[in-house]
Structure formats: C-alpha cells, structure tokens
Amino acid sequence: MFSFLFLRSCVAQTSWAARPFSSTSVAEALYKMKSHSGAKKRWRSAPGSKSFKRGQAFRSHLNASKSPARINRLGNTAYSTPAQTHKLRKVLLPYGSG
C-alpha cells in the first residue's frame, strides 16, 4: 500500500504526466502536428480549385493483359471527391490553409 501511494505521488509531481489538451497552443504543447507523408507523395492540389488530384494506379507494369482503352483510362488524372477533399485538408494541412 505504501509503495502505491508513493509511486502515485511521484507521478503526480512530474511534468510529463500532464497531458496538453486542445486548448493549449502549439508552443505550449511542445510538439507540432505532422502532415501525412503517404498523402503528400500521392496527392497534389488542383490549380484554380479547392480539390486535389492524383495519378491512377495499376498502369506501371503488367500491361500486356490490359486492353489499350484501359491503359489510356489509367493514364488520366483522378480528382478527389468532396468527402476525400475534406479528409485530405485535415491530413495534408493540419493547421489549416491560412
């Protein structure tokens, strides 16, 4: 019993036990939010609009079994849907666009 109370009082006195909540600023929290590295490599912001664009997958190899029309379709640019755009803004720009 004594060791539990002693340990509990030691943990309460340390500064790392206090968890920074969302009301604290970034400077007080001592860390920065990171943007998603995988999304950075795959998505680009579309010029003149508020959406994102990416390249299609499945075009780089094993193309002998794919029809020419399918290969041409896979060469087109894919754009984000409104739901994807909302999620990508939070992932790529964690502090907002401003």
Give the CATH number, domain containing residue 61: 4.10.410.60
Q: Is residue 71 part of a domain?
A: yes
pTM: 0.60
pLDDT reported for residue 25: 63
**pLDDT tens for residues 67-84?**
999 999 999 999 999 999
Q: Is residue 92 part of a domain?
A: yes
Q: Is residue 21 part of a domain?
A: no
Which residues are CB-neighbours of 30 under 8 A, at least 6 positions away?
20
Q: State the CB neighbour count (10 A cutoff) for residue 53.
A: 14
Q: Is residue 64 part of a domain?
A: yes
Q: Is residue 61 part of a domain?
A: yes
Q: Is residue 24 part of a domain?
A: no
Measure the CA–CA gap between 61 and 43, rounded to whole angstroms.
21
Domain extent at residue 43? 37-98
**pLDDT tens for residues 25-57?**
666 667 888 999 999 999 999 988 789 999 999
Look at residue 85 and give its three-state secondary structure.
Answer: helix
Strands 77-79 and 52-55: antiparallel
Q: Is residue 30 part of a domain?
A: no
Q: Is residue 1 part of a domain?
A: no
What's the domain count of the chain?
A: 1
pLDDT band at 96 (very low <50, low <70, confident <90, very high): confident
Look at residue 52 and give its three-state secondary structure.
Answer: strand
